Structure 1
């Protein structure tokens, strides 16, 4: 009987759906700058943020946990690309991009943005379910 219960428990665990790790995209529009964050809510855990002052069209991209790099990077989305300056800040990699640039426009379409500094590649990917948040962010950022 104990062996049968053990077998049933093992089968149940194998077929149980995976528990979400809690990562989500959240758009903060309350006060101060606009922020679109890839985070685990109510924790300090961040993968990336997009931040801007409403109407400025200037977007600061911060990647958390990326290898430190300083200098010029190539940022791409779809067929669009640009050279951007990157700088390390306290375990973060930061760059700035205009919200009206073709790279950002391509990012709004497919939700994928890649950043390459030398041999180091980092990226941001927003799933289809959250593309509306990215598009809302861009709308508010450009005014």
Structure 2
């Protein structure tokens, strides 16, 4: 009888693990600061899935912002963080677009403080949001980028 009860409990436990929902996708911010350019990527680790990247040659102060899975855009973007804004040219690429901004520009300083940046082209807006837990990675990226 005890063996049957133990077997029933083990089967119930096994069914619980089999029917548990799959974990949600784990998007995170990762700073790559080894050899080559600095990259701060909003990604699912160990996959090729990206939402956005910030890339900079160390000491250059020039940041290339790439937004993936963005609607096709061309022209001038308005980049905003808080009450500060800047205009930048959009460079369309396959399935994404890129723009450049300076790491020492006031809009980037506001981004460092808040973790929120908005890139608008016409009526289309694409937010870049870095949560408080990952703001230190953004600040480290900016420190290395500006040299």
Q: What residue number does 1:83 align with?
A: 87
- What SS does structure 1 have at the residue aligned with 2:78? strand
Q: How does 1:97-136 map onto structure 2 within 5 Å?
A: 97-136=101-140
Counterpart Cα distance in 1 of 2:127 and 2:89 = 15
Which one of 35, 49, 70 corresponds to residue 45 of structure 1?
A: 49
Q: What residue number does 1:96 align with?
A: 100
Counterpart Cα distance in 2 of 1:87 and 1:120 = 15
The CA deviation at 1:115 is: 0.7
Counterpart Cα distance in 2 of 1:75 and 1:63 = 13
What is the total number of aligned residue pairs between the two structures? 131
Which consecutive unaligned segments of at least 5 residues does structure 2 have? 1-11
The CA deviation at 1:103 is: 0.3
Aligned-pair RMSD on alpha carbons?
A: 1.6
Counterpart Cα distance in 1 of 2:114 and 2:71 = 25
Q: Give TM-score scaled by structure 1 length.
A: 0.87
Output one character per residue of 1:14-62: Cα deviation in whole Å (capped at 9) or x when no partner. xx9x834111000001111000000001100000000000000000000
